[in-house]
């Protein structure tokens, strides 16, 4: 099977988003022929400027499936008039809109959301990473709920840490924030407010963004608690990678996080206030055990199993 991945290539630190590349490489392990087409430019105009280039590429190669990541990527594919069926992966913001501040229980309808509603008749299958994304899919027969998998061979617990290599002290406790601190949606300001409370307990915040994806493993095996306090997420990969490493975590109740961690020892769900966040960090640090990896495996979210499910979706789209 020949599959063309179409996605943004705008991330300065990574090019293609790491979770998209990981998904593609997991399919290659299953002997799927993967080709990547990366989109340059931002916004509707920036994306649509890639239509001509993609159309030329489609003339020179025969693909069985075109897998578009993000609604605007799928519009580029549609306007290039491909012969192959299109599978669309919704990423989150293309469904519920871009969140700049916390507005609980509100649909953030905007041009992106309308575009996602409008595109659905033109694609064969629609993949949502979490239920809060899937609720924007109105063509239910095309809908599949499939979170991204985690490479549990690359993310695993170690008996030693990498603190010396990472410039971290052996004598301190660390809270890790892996998102972009300048992105309002990642809500780093909430964690910053806890700084003084954490410092009283010799706990320091480390926010190393941007780092190569390979470095994430080392940080997850060197800190005491991972914090993800975003306003909105789909199925955040950082949470699942932390679980695969048995890195304890405190997360806000967004996307499928509550489902992922459930009552697993080593984890807690925080409210959107600094007092509760700090308290949950202290509670999680005091927990003796962490069973994140086992929970992840029980959910079937290791990469090969997710790749098999994705291949089945491709086969359905072809048939």
Q: Does residue 289 lie in a domain region?
A: yes
C-alpha distance from residue 5 to each of 29, 33, 133, 149, 282 (Å) = 15, 10, 21, 17, 42
Q: Are residues 142 and 12 located together in one domain of the fold?
A: yes
Mean per-residue pLDDT of the chain = 91
The reported pLDDT for the residue numbered 18 is 82
DSSP string, 3-34: EEEEEE--BTTTBS-HHHHHHHHHHHHTT-EE
Domain extent for 85: 2-149+302-318
Q: Are residues 67 and 170 located together in one domain of the fold?
A: no
Q: Are residues 270 and 307 located together in one domain of the fold?
A: no
Helix 213-220 / helix 237-244 crossing angle, nearest 10 deg:
50
Contacts of 308 (CB under 8 A, 6+ apart): 30
Q: What pTM does this model have? A: 0.80
Q: Are residues 264 and 210 located together in one domain of the fold?
A: yes
Q: Does residue 276 lie in a domain region?
A: yes
Taking the C-alpha atoms of 11, 16, 22 and 25 in order, what is their torsion angle to the nearest 10 degrees? -160
- Please give the angle made by the CA atoms of 99, 106 and 275, to the nearest 5 degrees: 70
Rounded CA-CA distance 299/244 in Å is 12
The reported pLDDT for the residue numbered 10 is 67
Q: Are residues 306 and 283 located together in one domain of the fold?
A: no
Q: Does residue 293 lie in a domain region?
A: yes
The reported pLDDT for the residue numbered 93 is 78
| Domain CATH number, residue 203 | 3.40.50.2000
Q: What is the pLDDT of residues 23-48, one digit of tens each?
A: 999 999 999 999 999 998 887 888 89
- Total structural domains within the chain: 2
Q: What is the pLDDT of residues 81-108, one digit of tens each?
A: 999 999 999 987 787 766 555 444 444 5
Q: Does residue 158 lie in a domain region?
A: no
Q: Does residue 157 lie in a domain region?
A: no
Across the beta sheet with 249-252, what order do the strands follow?
Answer: 203-206, 173-176, 225-228, 249-252, 267-270
Give Cα 169 distance to the centre of its chain.
29
Q: Are residues 143 and 203 located together in one domain of the fold?
A: no
Let me know: does 108 contact 96? Beta carbons within 8 Å: yes
Q: What is the pLDDT of residues 150-201, one digit of tens each?
A: 999 999 999 889 999 999 999 999 999 999 999 888 999 999 999 999 999 9
Q: Are residues 256 and 190 located together in one domain of the fold?
A: yes
Q: Does residue 270 lie in a domain region?
A: yes
Rounded CA-CA distance 255/264 in Å is 17
Q: What is the pLDDT of residues 220-267, one digit of tens each?
A: 999 999 999 998 888 899 999 999 999 999 999 998 999 999 999 999
Using CB atoms within 10 Å of the CB of residue 15, give its burial: 0 to 12 exposed, 13 to 18 middle, 19+ buried. Answer: middle
Q: How many residues in the chain?
A: 319
Nearest to 290 by CA among 220, 243, 240: 243
Residue 135 DSSP symbol: T
C-alpha distance from residue 152 to each of 17, 51, 99, 103, 284 (Å) = 18, 36, 31, 35, 23
Across the beta sheet with 143-145, what order do the strands follow?
Answer: 33-39, 2-8, 65-69, 86-90, 125-128, 143-145
Q: Are residues 17 and 144 located together in one domain of the fold?
A: yes
Q: Which residue has the tokens 């069985």?
A: 64
Q: Does residue 155 lie in a domain region?
A: no
Q: Are residues 169 and 292 located together in one domain of the fold?
A: yes
Let me know: does 155 contact 238? Beta carbons within 8 Å: no
Q: Does residue 156 lie in a domain region?
A: no
Q: Are residues 238 and 292 located together in one domain of the fold?
A: yes
Q: Are residues 101 and 194 located together in one domain of the fold?
A: no
Q: Are residues 312 and 286 located together in one domain of the fold?
A: no
Say if residue 269's pLDDT is above 50: yes
Q: What is the pLDDT of residues 64-85, one digit of tens each?
A: 999 999 999 999 999 999 999 9
């Amino acid at each position: 099977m020949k599959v063309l991945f179409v996605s943004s290539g705008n991330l300065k630190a990574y090019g293609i988003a790491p979770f998209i590349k990981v998904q593609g490489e997991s399919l290659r392990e299953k002997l799927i022929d993967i080709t990547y087409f990366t989109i340059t430019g931002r916004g509707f105009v920036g994306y649509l400027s890639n239509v001509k280039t993609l159309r030329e590429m489609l003339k020179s190669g025969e693909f069985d499936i075109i897998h578009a990541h993000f609604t605007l990527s799928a519009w580029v594919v549609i306007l290039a008039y491909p012969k192959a069926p299109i599978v669309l992966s919704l990423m989150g913001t293309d469904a519920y809109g871009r969140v700049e501040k916390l507005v609980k229980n509100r649909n953030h309808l905007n041009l992106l959301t309308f575009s996602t509603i409008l595109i659905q008749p033109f694609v064969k299958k629609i993949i949502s990473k979490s239920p809060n994304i899937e609720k924007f899919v109105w063509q239910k027969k095309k809908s599949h709920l499939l979170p991204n998998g985690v490479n549990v061979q690359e993310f695993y617990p170690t008996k030693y840490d990498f603190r010396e290599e990472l410039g971290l002290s052996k004598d301190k406790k660390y809270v890790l924030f892996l998102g972009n601190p300048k992105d309002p949606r990642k809500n780093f300001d909430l964690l910053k407010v806890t700084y003084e409370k954490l410092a009283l307990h010799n706990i320091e915040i480390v926010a190393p963004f941007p780092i190569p994806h390979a470095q994430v493993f080392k940080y997850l095996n060197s800190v005491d608690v991972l914090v993800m306090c975003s306003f909105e997420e789909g199925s955040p990969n950082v949470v699942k990678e932390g679980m695969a490493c048995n890195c304890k975590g405190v997360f806000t109740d967004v996307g499928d996080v509550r489902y992922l961690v459930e009552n697993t020892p080593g984890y807690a769900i925080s409210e959107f206030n600094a007092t509760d966040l700090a308290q949950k960090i202290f509670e999680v640090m005091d927990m003796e055990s962490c069973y994140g990896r086992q929970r992840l495996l029980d959910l079937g979210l290791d990469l090969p199993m997710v790749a098999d499910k994705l291949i089945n979706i491709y086969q359905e789209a072809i048939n």
